[in-house]
Amino acid sequence: MATLPETRASMANRAGYDQGFLGPTVPLPVPTDPVIETVVLPYTHFSVVFRPDRRLATATAVTIDGVKLIDADRDDDWRFDPRLPDSQQAGNPVYKNNPLDRGHLVRRLDPVWGVGDEAETANEDTFHFTNAAPQMDIFNQGKELWLGLENFLLDHAEQFDRKLSVFTGPVLEDSDPPYRGIKVPLRFWKVAAFMQDGELAASAYVLDQSPDLSRDAAARALADAARAGDPPPLGAFRTFQVPVADVAEVTGLDLGPLPDADRLPRAVRAEKRWTQLETLQDVVV
């Protein structure tokens, strides 16, 4: 747990995401629309591409060294990043007295590796509001699958490099339901990159927490909740494996070499087929 208040100066030593971590260069995801303003915030072993207009990240990027991972204690000391005005970040008022969790975008333990204070600093860095987005607090099978993806892919990578670069964020739509000064994302995305047989490989996923209703009924429920000032009536998590190119399309992000490194069969990619996952054994890597 941090013992001194953070300042711009105390955060100045954060190196952030390493785009050469895997060997081939894999850059940070950035919006393809030049009108969208973002701020890149480096932390320890990860970076956040932040959209002040939405008070949320549009993308995060973390490097995971599976051989050096350390099991650090959870501190739950959520705080604002001093490099941005508090008013541009979605803080505790968004999550107070409702069924919304502060969902980590960079999973807490993913960047927690290294020597000395490095791992502990990475652990603490994940508890900035810039690394959170509202998710339903109900733990269900879909959420369990989503949270287990990095472990599954690390286990798969063990026979290769046992390193991952993982990119995660909310799908930020103009139609997302408003609540307490933000718009709550209904979908999240994740792309994992790793080396396989000497080549860059990638695998992509989408988590959907849309209301479990027909499209029209869901739209009415979301609108009614917004008028009443209530949190959106979100549904159970559904996790899909999708073509990497589809993530680039729905998010408007430039994912660099990752769409061409997709491990899904070409026929699946050509059909833009989304496969709902029931277990981690359904994942194609």
* Structural domains present in the chain: 33-280 (3.40.570.10)
Handedness of CA 14, 16, 21, 24 (dihedral sign): negative
170-216 pLDDT per residue, tens: 999 999 999 999 999 999 999 999 999 899 999 999 999 998 777 78
Instruction: Return the structure tokens found at 230.
Output: 């209530």
pLDDT, greater one: 157 or 3: 157
pLDDT value for 140: 65
pLDDT, greater one: 18 or 148: 18
Question: For residue 231, is pLDDT > 70?
Answer: yes
**Does residue 57 contact residue 41 with C-beta atoms inside 8 Å?**
no
Question: For residue 1, is pLDDT > 60?
Answer: no
Only one residue has tokens 């990475």, namely 122
92-141 pLDDT per residue, tens: 999 999 989 999 999 999 999 998 789 999 999 999 999 999 998 876 67
pLDDT value for 116: 78
What band does 2 get if pLDDT is binned at 50, 70 and 90? very low
What pTM was computed for the model? 0.94
What band does 25 get if pLDDT is binned at 50, 70 and 90? very high
Mean pLDDT rounded to a whole number for the chain? 92
pLDDT value for 3: 55
What is the per-residue burial (b if ≥16 Cβ within 10 Å, else e) of 179-203? beebbbbbbbbbbbbbbbeeebbbb
3-state SS class at 225: helix
Q: Return d(Cα 17, Cα 109) in angstroms, integer.
A: 15
43-92 pLDDT per residue, tens: 999 999 999 999 999 999 999 999 898 888 887 889 999 999 999 999 99
Please count the residues of the chain.
285
Q: Return d(Cα 236, Cα 137) in angstroms, integer.
A: 10
Per-residue pLDDT, averaged over 281-285, amounts to 89
- Residue of 24, 9, 6, 4 lying closest to 163 (CA atoms): 24
Give the Cβ contact number of residue 221 at 10 Å: 17
